[in-house]
Amino acid sequence: MAEVEDTLKRIQAQHGVIGTIVVNGEGIPIRTTLDNSTSVQYAGLLHQLTMKARSAVRDIDPQNELTFLRIRSKKHEIMVAPDKEYLLIAIQNPSE
Amino acid sequence: MSNTTVTQKRRTLKVAKSSKTLNVSSGVFRPNQSTTKSINPLFSGKSFGSTGDSKVVDKISAQTPKHTAMVVDENGQDVTPHPLYNPDPGVLQSKQGKVFTALDTSLTTMTEFPSIAFQTTNASLTGPFTRSFFGSASASRISQTAESVTDETKDLLVKQDLSNSISDIQSHREEPKEQLRENILDSTANCYLSETETIWLLDIPAVSVSVESEDAEAVKERNNAYTELCKNRQGNDKYVERSMQTFSDASKTKEVQCDSITMVDKAVMCTVWDMYDSFNNISDVSANTVVSSERHEATIPESSSEGHLVHPKRSNQSLSVVSTVSTVSGSSTHIEKMACVLPLDEEPDLQLILQSDKLKQDLALMERVVLANVFQPKLAAYRQLPIIEDPDCVQMVMEEESWTEQSKNSHCPFLERLWDFSCELTMGRNVSCMVWNKKNPDLLAVGYGQVEFKNPNSGLVCCWSLKNPTWPDRVFHCESGVTALDFSASNANQLAVGMYDGTIAIYNVQTSEQTPITDSSDCANLHTSPVWQLTWIDHEDGLAADKGEILVSVSSDGRISKWIHYKSMECVDLMKLKIHDLQWKRHISSLTPGMCFDFHPNDSKIYLVGTEEGHIHKCSSSYNEQYLESYKAHKRPVYKVTWSPFCSDVFLSCSSDWTIQLWRQDLQIPVMGFTSGQRVVFDIMWSPHCATVFGAVSEGKVEIWDLRVSSLDPTLVNWTSPGVNPTALLFSPETDCVLVGDSEGQVTVYKLKNITAGGGSQGETLEDVIQSTLSSQH
């Protein structure tokens, strides 16, 4: 448990990281460094996208599984580590 | 066909057309004069002239007269033929001759008639056709017989007779049955097979008439009359147009009310993985109930991330979760669905998630990903990949320009600082040793511990990964300072740690467990002084029990020991370092402390030992009494001795007497000596890429020497920040990078720029240098 908190803190402290969110299976953020409305927005949108991405991966090969999703945009990069029970989201601006 | 008798007794019938066949056929209708019946009123007045065609065939006559109308005779009996007699026409056909003869003779034969008909069966399918046809056929015959018709009634009589005969047949059906049966049983039956007549299913007479036919004139006249009529029609008073009006009723609206039809939208999306999951879940649902009682489910594939939620205390809850997930996966996943089925207490759920192993792994992965973004150009430079500039950020470009500018402008070799491994754990500690993992070239083990006799604090071993320079992947706390490290080559996860108090421990880096696999603290022969160097050696030629890798250590207590660890560590002394130099004999023990050693890269039995006296001895592991050779040149303790990876004869040694010496193993005096300033040289290492390049670490600076360029001055000097001493040096085996560990706990990664390996064989280059040096000396 402490290890998890430590790692989360370290990730947050990295260069350029804007926020980290851990979302449970219902879409409710359980650990977040951003404000609530932003967290909920990210959680909802990324959940849908992750579902779609997972569906795409598994449609091609049902034995495959989505392990990581990265969305690189102009301003920042959103990284999602999906799982059946949770979503781990980190938003980073690598150019800072 | 024996119809001759038939033809003689021909009845008089109406004639429309003549045909010979008809004559024959008409014999059928020969009346049986013995029976006279009244005229069937039904038949009077019927004209069958329309069917006057030569369609009638002989066989038709043999049929029983069937008529579609009800037939009632004078007595009021219904003589309508029954369906039972369907076979009769066929029968009659076959028994044509006999029938006729029967008809000829007497009533009795008539009575025989049905029985015969009864016995000889034919396709009853012809029955209905013939029956209905008979009506027309008989009529046609009636109309067609060539005889002059005298008696219409006779026709009818014929019909009547036949009908009567049928009735007779009906009534007498039962009686002659038995008689005839007996008779026929004895007699031979002759079967006459004959064709049925043509069955006409549709007969539309032609509308057009041939010009040459007899009716042509009449038809033409009629046609002409019609056309004239049509012409005359207009304006003719005879023809008046008349129209009719139909009344349209008034319309009335009628309303009906019904319940509203509720529409429900239902949609299912079927995907490939959906089907796959359903298939697997059928078998897995039963398995999951067993799973939930265990804790470790890492081995179950894919559809069991449910396993992470399992907690032995909450087996019920987890079961429900398990079943939920398995059903949810069968449909397009809706968060709402999961929400309503999951239990209401969310706190444990949160805790479970945060404690799950998967989250830890994902966090580690996320950390690496984030760091990869941060360190991407540095890592790319490390791996000798081209550095990609980010098109989206302008600031980066400027930084990179300044960064790469320096490298592009200068052609002289320099060290480009990439990054450093450091974290708060390691701050303030002294890096004593560094070693790469033999199997995974990205894994670096760094030992932290004091070198000199300072306050002994606990040591630390950190396993760093290149992918995460900010936090070590593994941290092992040791009781005393770490002075030596080595990764095993055969078991790449085993790390041997030598400590300041003489303990040797072997850790398994796969897990984060703090306790080592084995520890030498129980061994009777353990080192009493700091272990300065450790090496795993592949002992091929050892005893049978020694095959495989062996750990060899050198320590300040003057012993070089070989360690075998099966259950606990045991050591066997390979060599005791006896004092040669009288100057040192004043020490208590008779052994001189060993500081370093190095096994020959080609021959694993020969090794060099550097001692505190400054002597270097070449020893053999199979001979532990005497040194093979001694090299004396250093005045002070030899800190490092290392064979050249390219030339098997050449080795390098460094000492605290400010010098580095290059030796050839057959020469007692060093070939070359290098010194640059009055600083203690802590560590040296040959470059794995270039035979003439080696690196040296001394107080306050890092030097890279290139013997092709100069043997007097280092080719490259990199000063460290004041107060910080670099204490360890490591070349990266795959890339051209150098790692320098310093006394502040930082391990800095530098990239060697503009030092090229050069062409030609490496070993030859070095030998040439040595040769030239030797020749110049003499």
Q: What is the pLDDT of residues B407-424, one digit of tens each?
A: 444 567 778 888 888 888
Measured between its terminal Cα atoms, the distance across chain B in Å is 148
pLDDT at position B58 is 42
pLDDT at B602 over 80: yes
Chain B residues touching residue A12 (CB < 8 angstroms): none
Maximal C-alpha separation, chain A: 39
Can you tell me the mean pLDDT for B94-113?
A: 44
- Please name the member of A4, A51, A60 whose beta carbon is closest to the beta carbon of B359: A4
Whose CA is closest to B593, among B636, B632, B556, B560? Answer: B556
**Alpha carbon distance B156, B154 (integer Å):** 5
Can you tell me the mean pLDDT for B81-104?
A: 50
Q: How confident is the model at residue A67 (pLDDT cuts 50, 70, 90)?
A: very high
pLDDT tens, position by position, B450-502: 755 555 567 888 899 888 888 888 888 888 888 888 988 888 888 888 888 88
pLDDT at position B298 is 37
Contact A24 B355 (CB under 8 A): no
pLDDT at B152 over 80: no
Contact B373 A16 (CB under 8 A): yes
Chain A residues touching residue B277 (CB < 8 angstroms): 62
**Alpha carbon distance B746, B421 (integer Å):** 6
pLDDT at position B734 is 82
Residue B675, SS3 per DSSP:
strand
Chain A residues touching residue B398 (CB < 8 angstroms): none
Can you tell me the mean pLDDT for B657-662?
A: 88
**Alpha carbon distance B6, B26 (integer Å):** 8
pLDDT at A70 over 70: yes
pLDDT at position B34 is 41
Can you tell me the mean pLDDT for B562-575?
A: 72
Strands (E), B605-692: 606-611, 615-620, 629-632, 638-643, 650-655, 659-664, 672-675, 681-686
Phi-psi region of B614 (alpha: psi -120 to 50; beta: other; left: phi over 0): left
pLDDT at position B4 is 40
pLDDT at position B397 is 43
Give just the sign of the alpha carbon dihedral B215, B216, B221, B223: positive
Per the model's pLDDT, the better-predicted residue between B737 and B96 turns out to be: B737
Calculate how close chain B gets to A83, using CA atoms only, in Å.
8
Contact B276 A62 (CB under 8 A): yes
**Alpha carbon distance B421, B474 (integer Å):** 13
Distance of CA B632 to the CA centre of its chain: 68
Identify the CATH class of A2-63+74-87: alpha beta
pLDDT at B331 over 50: no
Chain A residues touching residue B366 (CB < 8 angstroms): 11, 20, 79, 81, 88, 90
pLDDT at position B378 is 83
Calculate how close chain A gets to B701, using CA atoms only, in Å.
30
Secondary-structure percent of chain B, ordered helix, strand, coil, rounded to 5: 35, 20, 45
Residue located via tokens 């795959």: B734
Chain B residue closest to A27 (CA)? B335
pLDDT at position B128 is 42
Q: B308 touching A, CB under 8 A? A: yes
Selected for mutation to probe chain B from A9, A84, A91 (highest B CB count within 10 Å) is A84
pLDDT at position B393 is 56
**Alpha carbon distance B663, B651 (integer Å):** 5
- Please name the member of A14, A83, A95 whose beta carbon is closest to the beta carbon of B362: A83
Distances (CA, A) of B338 to A56, B334, B342, B466, B608: 22, 7, 6, 40, 68
Per the model's pLDDT, the better-predicted residue between B767 and B397 turns out to be: B767
- Please name the member of B335, B352, B370 whose beta carbon is closest to the beta carbon of A92: B370
pLDDT at position A19 is 92
Chain B residues touching residue A88 (CB < 8 angstroms): 359, 362-363, 366
Chain B residue closest to A17 (CA)? B370
pLDDT tens, position by position, B685-742: 988 888 888 888 888 888 888 888 877 888 888 888 887 888 888 888 888 888 988 8
Considering chain B, what is the average pLDDT of its residues? 69
pLDDT tens, position by position, B272-324: 888 888 888 887 666 655 444 444 333 333 333 333 333 333 433 433 333 33
pLDDT at position B287 is 60
Q: What is the dihedral of CA B495, B497, B503, B508, to 10 degrees?
A: -30
Can you tell me the mean pLDDT for B114-131?
A: 43
Contact B359 A68 (CB under 8 A): no
Per the model's pLDDT, the better-predicted residue between B559 and B184 turns out to be: B559
Chain A residues touching residue B273 (CB < 8 angstroms): 55, 58-59, 62
Query: Is B683 buried (19+), middle (13-18) or exposed (0-12) by CB count in 10 A?
Result: buried
**Alpha carbon distance B643, B649 (integer Å):** 8
Give me the amino acid identity at B738.
Answer: V
Q: Give the single-character DSSP code of B623.
A: B
Residue located via tokens 């770490």: B482
Residues B396 and B389 sit within 8 Å (Cβ to Cβ): yes
pLDDT at position B301 is 37
**Alpha carbon distance B608, B593 (integer Å):** 14
Residues B514 and B494 sit within 8 Å (Cβ to Cβ): no
Q: Where are the alpha helices (DSSP H) in B329-384?
A: 335-341, 347-355, 357-382
Contact B353 A74 (CB under 8 A): no
Q: Where are the domains of chain A?
A: 2-63+74-87
The structural domains of chain B, ordered by start, are: 421-582+589-777 (2.130.10.10)
pLDDT at B31 over 90: no
